[in-house]
Amino acid sequence: MAANAEARIDSSRALLRHTVATVAYRGGKALRAAPGEFANFRVAAGTRTPAEILAHVGDLFDWALSIAKDKEEWRNSSPLPWNAGVDRFFTALNSFDAYLASDAPLGCSAERLFQGPIADSLTHIGQISMLRRLASAPVRGEDYSQAEIALGRVGREQKSPKFEFD
């Protein structure tokens, strides 16, 4: 493989990893300190609860890992109790990030991983944030461009916000 192709692959994987760390940061903020009843909050009949959305996000990262390993498989998981669902979210992010950090080949393009499961997860993190506001437990807005997001920081422990909005 030519050096330019290797550099492009490395930069694509680095950008994916940064995006996964961003999902961890934003997701962690949306999930942290949610009231006990929030998991089952339903805004209207036929809509997903936060626990159902969180299960779907876990499924997205399990799917992303299966795609990356060239063994694509989708599963619909049932929602877990809130804290277990949050643990699953971070475990799935960690597993996917660890694969991206490895020398193992990607079973598809970085672009496919981004446009499918990763971008979808950002949509759903936004839904959880919106539901927090509707459930009278809002998440403070933030200038995310100033957030301390780092490759590999994909667990519950995230840096404190630098600049939140009132």
How does pLDDT run across 2-49, given as a tens digit for each residue?
555 555 558 999 999 999 999 999 999 999 999 999 999 999 999 999
**Residue 152 lies inside a defined structural domain of this protein:** no
**Residue 164 lies inside a defined structural domain of this protein:** no
**Residue 84 lies inside a defined structural domain of this protein:** yes
**Residue 165 lies inside a defined structural domain of this protein:** no
Q: Per the structure, how many domains does the chain have?
A: 1
- What's the pLDDT at 70? 98
**Residue 117 lies inside a defined structural domain of this protein:** yes
**Residue 166 lies inside a defined structural domain of this protein:** no
**Residue 156 lies inside a defined structural domain of this protein:** no
- What's the pLDDT at 163? 84
pLDDT digits (tens, 9 = 90+) for 87-125: 999 999 999 999 999 999 999 999 999 999 999 999 999
- What's the pLDDT at 10? 84
**Residue 161 lies inside a defined structural domain of this protein:** no
What range does the domain containing 28 cover?
Answer: 3-146
Q: At 17, which CATH number?
A: 1.20.120.450
pTM, two decimal places? 0.92
DSSP string, the chain: --HHHHHHHHHHHHHHHHHHHHHHHHHHHHHTT--GGGGG--SSTTPPPHHHHHHHHHHHHHHHHHHHTT------PPPPPHHHHHHHHHHHHHHHHHHHHSSPPPSS-HHHHIIIIIHHHHHHHHHHHHHHHHTT-PPPPB-GGGS---TT--SS--PPPS-B--
